[in-house]
């Protein structure tokens, strides 16, 4: 732990007995070997901790933007995430939340880079345990970008964070596949906006890359909006403007994407602990079918997966809706009980969003 400080009252969580911003050391860079400093938040329930320390929810947040001021430990949480995290605190769980590499600290934010995100999530808990009364028992909880981070954290924990006792993983808005090679980014859809978020990462991986040179003036304007805006404002405006197909890129960015793909891909989805997957069937940002297929792939590898489908729920709404089911599930795994998976029974409805 490099430093810690109390958060301003308007950034603290109401159900926390203490809310502190922290700086901690981690490993980052393209290959995960560079020593870096990462920011984050530690939120403790009120009162005295139980024997052995507070059980930990390691929260991996969804996309909040690229400017440093967007880091949740600086900027606070959205109303949705505030309610979600307060609920965990009310149940007697501490929340440890990384901001991720380069978000709130020096350097670029390597968006959706597997090793960087997973390491950042785990190192936040390891650092917090040195300064706060926290248990070894941890459940990883992630939404959207954070589901990608939590997945990677779970799959690398036994190697890089052996002192932690991982109890389970909760994933919502899960990007089930990180292979973008089959997508035509010249077409208008949510994927074109997603590509804008990846552009800084291409330069992070290859200093000689000039991804912005591949943009048209319209694409450049959209990129600047994503680069300078926090939260979902840029995405909402994108959906309002609805750029015409083929107007964002002047060159094919797929060679840069091919270089980034190995850094973004998941390891084999063989989880050592139970996994809860909440899928909103009206998710407009991460394909529900891909999340379902990834869950079934994890099942085929022997993982214990509970798949919960939420008709009519979009990308953000699934967070709160799924907590009705994930809350008792998390209670069980912290108690050492093994929830029953439903790999054999889960069926993706034919009428759902693909």
pLDDT at 239: 60
Range of the domain at 283: 3-177+267-334
pLDDT at 190: 53
The runs of H, that is alpha helices, within 27-175 are: 72-75, 79-90, 114-129, 145-160
Between CA 37 and CA 14 the distance in angstroms is 27
Q: Is the pLDDT of residue 182 over 50?
A: no
What angle (nearest 5°) sits at the alpha carbon of residue 300, between those of residues 299 and 301? 90
Pair (168, 255) in one structural domain: no
Between CA 245 and CA 258 the distance in angstroms is 22
Pair (214, 317) in one structural domain: no
Query: What's the pLDDT tens digit per position in 202-220?
Result: 888 988 888 888 898 988 8
Tokens at 157, concatenated: 């924990």
Q: Is the pLDDT of residue 225 over 70?
A: yes
* pLDDT confidence band for 295 (50 / 70 / 90): very high
Tally of domains in the chain: 2
Count of other CB atoms within 10 angstroms of residue 311: 10
Q: Is 346 inside a domain boundary?
A: no
Q: Is 39 inside a domain boundary?
A: yes
Pair (77, 172) in one structural domain: yes
Q: Is the pLDDT of residue 233 over 70?
A: no
Query: What's the pLDDT tens digit per position in 322-350?
Result: 999 999 999 999 999 999 999 999 999 98
Q: Is 348 inside a domain boundary?
A: no
Pair (58, 169) in one structural domain: yes
Domain containing residue 280: CATH number: 3.40.50.1820
pLDDT at 242: 60
Query: What's the pLDDT tens digit per position in 24-34?
Result: 999 998 878 89
Rounded to the nearest integer, the mean pLDDT of the chain is 91
Identify whether the C-beta of residue 306 lies closer than 8 Å to the C-beta of residue 343: no
Query: What's the pLDDT tens digit per position in 66-125?
Result: 889 999 999 999 999 999 999 999 999 999 999 999 999 998 899 999 999 999 999 999
pLDDT at 211: 84
* pLDDT confidence band for 4 (50 / 70 / 90): very high
Pair (147, 22) in one structural domain: yes
Q: Is the pLDDT of residue 284 over 90?
A: no
Pair (150, 287) in one structural domain: yes
Q: Which of 263, 296, 317 is the last residue of a domain?
A: 263
pLDDT at 31: 79
Q: Is the pLDDT of residue 245 over 60?
A: no
Most distant CA pair in the chain: distance in Å? Answer: 60
Pair (139, 278) in one structural domain: yes
- CA-nearest of 111, 140, 110 to 124 is 140
Tokens at 277, concatenated: 């997957």
Pair (95, 214) in one structural domain: no
pLDDT at 319: 99
Of 56-60, 248-252, 332-336, minimum mean pLDDT range: 248-252
pTM value?
Answer: 0.94
What percent of the chain is modeled with pLDDT above 90?
Answer: 71
Highest mean pLDDT among 19-23, 180-184, 200-204: 19-23
Query: What's the pLDDT tens digit per position in 312-322?
Result: 999 999 999 99
More confident residue, 117 or 233: 117
> How do 165-172 and 134-143 pair as beta strands?
parallel
What percent of the chain is modeled with pLDDT above 70?
Answer: 90
């Amino acid at each position: 732990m490099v430093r810690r400080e109390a958060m301003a009252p308007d950034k603290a969580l109401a159900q926390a007995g203490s809310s502190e911003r922290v700086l901690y050391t981690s490993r980052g860079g393209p290959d995960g070997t560079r020593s870096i400093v990462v920011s984050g938040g530690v939120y403790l329930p009120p009162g005295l901790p139980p024997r052995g320390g507070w059980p930990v929810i390691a929260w991996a947040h969804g996309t909040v933007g690229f400017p440093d001021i967007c880091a949740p430990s600086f900027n606070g949480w959205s109303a949705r995430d505030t309610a979600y995290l307060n609920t965990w605190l009310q149940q007697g769980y501490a929340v440890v939340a990384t901001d991720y590499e380069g978000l709130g600290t020096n350097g670029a934010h390597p968006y959706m880079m597997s090793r960087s995100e997973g390491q950042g999530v785990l190192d936040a808990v390891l650092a917090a345990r040195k300064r706060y009364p926290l248990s070894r028992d941890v459940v990883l909880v992630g939404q959207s970008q954070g589901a990608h981070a939590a997945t990677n954290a779970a799959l690398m924990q036994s190697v890089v964070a052996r002192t932690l006792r991982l109890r389970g993983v909760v994933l919502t808005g899960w990007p089930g596949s990180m292979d973008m090679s089959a997508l035509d980014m010249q077409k208008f859809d949510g994927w074109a906006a997603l590509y804008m978020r990846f552009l800084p990462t291409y330069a992070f991986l290859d200093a000689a890359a000039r991804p912005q040179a591949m943009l048209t003036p319209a694409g450049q304007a959209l990129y600047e909006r994503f680069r300078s805006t926090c939260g979902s404002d840029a995405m909402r405006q994108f959906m309002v403007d609805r750029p015409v197909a083929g107007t964002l890129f002047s060159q094919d960015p797929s060679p840069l994407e091919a270089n980034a793909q190995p850094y973004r891909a998941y390891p084999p989805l063989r989880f050592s602990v139970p996994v809860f997957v909440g899928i909103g069937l009206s998710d407009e940002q991460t394909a529900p079918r891909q999340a379902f297929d990834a869950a079934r792939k994890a099942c085929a590898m022997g993982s214990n997966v509970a798949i919960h489908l939420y008709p009519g729920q979009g990308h953000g709404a699934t967070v709160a809706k799924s907590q009705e089911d994930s809350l008792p599930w998390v209670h069980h795994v912290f108690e050492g009980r093994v929830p029953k998976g439903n790999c054999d029974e889960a069926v993706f409805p034919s009428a759902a969003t693909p």
